[in-house]
Amino acid sequence: MQDYKAILGDIHRDLSSKTNKGQVATYIPELAHIDKNKFGIHLKTIDGFEFGIGDCYTSFSIQSISKVLALSKAIALIGETVWQRVGVEPSGHPFNQLALLEVEKGIPRNPFINSGAIVIADILLSYLKNPKDDFLRYIRDLANDDSIGFNEDVALSEKITGFKNYAAANLLKSFNNLENAVEDVLDFYFYQCSIEMTCSQLNHTFFFLANKGNCLLNKSRLTKTQAKRINALMLSCGFYDEAGEFAFEVGLPGKSGVGGGIVALLPNHFVITTWAPGLNPKGNSLLGMQSLEQFTTKTKLSIF
């Protein structure tokens, strides 16, 4: 076994000293005041090794990373039916998601662009009895950790300023690809995105996707095939228009959030999570991306 502690220690030390730490996202007012020197990494392997460094026990807003969890719950609920309402192809575009949605008649390209995630939120709203509670319960069970929760201030902050998401949801509604009212779907969606976790908790939560669908407590959450497919989607679509770059440089399925978190995993081997709030121009955590590039380069571990 490689000396993960030494490798992660080197990476954390090297990147902590960088002066360029990217820009903290400002479009969600509640997230704008986060200290961009925060930097944590957490690794957990299938065979039981676990190690964290830096700010890996500080909570942050997981934001878009929650889209993967919402998708996994939707698949657990209604299976492959999900794919009648959302695609599995990369969007290829930074700028014009709504354009694509118009051309493709209300079927979002994939569940990780905002319009796709809003469709998934609509599914959860239709199938969960108490959507917010049930979804939080699902996450806490995945992580085996009842301290995980929503941040209502963040949810509210997005609700007041998230006009682009309202635009997307209304467009979906105009194409009959939302069952519930726009307000209700977005209310749930903003809560989902406001979930807070530490690197360590995030790592535990995603463990099931590296572990053939079985979560920490060894309960089956998804079939092996379902887990495989979600991993494939993270690889293709997990980093917006930088997905190809991430596959190319890092070579792991993963997902980033505008709060500065990233989760990546090597199926049957490990989950690694990073948090550094400064983003690169494409909206992905700058130090997080660099951490993962260094990690897969040094360890020679990747799916390719």
Q: Least CB distance from residue 50 to its own copies, whole Å?
A: 23
Per-residue interface string for the shown chain with its own copies, residues 180-199, x marking contact by CB under 8 A: --x-----------------
Of 35-43, 55-63, 149-157, 170-178, the window that binds its own copies (rule: CB under 8 A) is 170-178
Please report whether residue 304 would count as binding its own copies according to CB under 8 A.
Answer: yes
Of 54-62, 192-200, 241-249, 256-264, the window that binds its own copies (rule: CB under 8 A) is 241-249
Closest CA to 3 of 302, 208, 295, 303: 295
Spatial separation of the C-alpha atoms in residues 260 and 94, rounded to whole Å: 18
Spatial separation of the C-alpha atoms in residues 101 and 77, rounded to whole Å: 25
Q: What are residue 245's phi and psi, to 5 degrees?
A: -60, -45
List 168, 197, 199, 292, residue binding its own copies (CB under 8 A): 168
Residues classed as catalytic: 64, 67, 189, 240, 258
Please report whether residue 109 would count as binding its own copies according to CB under 8 A.
Answer: yes
Per-residue interface string for the shown chain with its own copies, residues 146-165, x marking contact by CB under 8 A: -----------------xx-
Closest CA to 97 of 82, 83, 112: 112
Of 28-36, 66-74, 152-160, 229-237, the window that binds its own copies (rule: CB under 8 A) is 229-237
Please report whether residue 167 would count as binding its own copies according to CB under 8 A.
Answer: yes
Local structure of 5: helix, strand or coil: helix
Of 9-17, 126-134, 143-151, 240-248, the window that binds its own copies (rule: CB under 8 A) is 240-248
**Strands 196-197 vs 60-61: parallel, antiparallel or unpaired:** antiparallel
CA distances from 184 to 138, 178, 190 (A): 20, 11, 10
Q: How far is CA 168 from the centre of its chain?
A: 19
Per-residue interface string for the shown chain with its own copies, residues 255-294, x marking contact by CB under 8 A: ------------x---------------------------
Q: Least CB distance from residue 231 to its own copies, whole Å?
A: 4
Spatial separation of the C-alpha atoms in residues 301 and 304, rounded to whole Å: 8
Spatial separation of the C-alpha atoms in residues 2 and 16, rounded to whole Å: 22
Residue closer to its own copies (CB basis): 79 or 244: 244
CB proximity list for 178: less than 8 A, separation 6 or greater? 118, 119, 122, 169, 172, 185
Interface with its own copies by CB under 8 A: which residues? 87-93, 95-100, 102-103, 109-110, 163-164, 166-171, 173-174, 182, 224-225, 227-229, 231-233, 235-237, 241-245, 247-249, 251, 253, 267, 297, 300, 302-304
